[in-house]
Amino acid sequence: MKENEVLYGRISKVENNEGGYTKERKEFIKHVERQVAYSDKLKLNGRLRKLEKINRENEHMYKRIENAQPSYSRKKFQDEYKHILLFKSGR
């Protein structure tokens, strides 16, 4: 009986201990999860940088549009109209 108790004790001790494969597997899973989290973070930062770049370009274009001077004026229209009238009348 004493021997059986010793064997049962050994068996329960081995069952409770994690094997090398189980430890490696858990460590690998943790490693992969950390890699996934890191690449998600990098992707998010990349998206944010793209948005910031687009916003800067939009602001730049908005300033250019605000400061733009028209390429035509009333005087130019009148001068061209006079020119057209000259050609209509046959000079």
Q: What is the pLDDT of residues 30-71, one digit of tens each?
A: 999 999 999 999 999 999 999 999 999 999 999 999 999 888
Element (H, E) at 11: helix 2-16
- DSSP strand E in 1-91: where? none
Cα–Cα distance measured from residue 81 to residue 88, given in angstroms and rounded to the nearest whole number: 10
Q: Is the pLDDT assigned to residue 21 strictly greater than 70?
A: yes
Which pLDDT value is given to residue 32? Answer: 96
Counting residues of the chain whose pLDDT is more than 70, the rounded percentage is 99
Answer with the residue of higher pLDDT: 4 or 91.
Answer: 4
pTM: 0.51
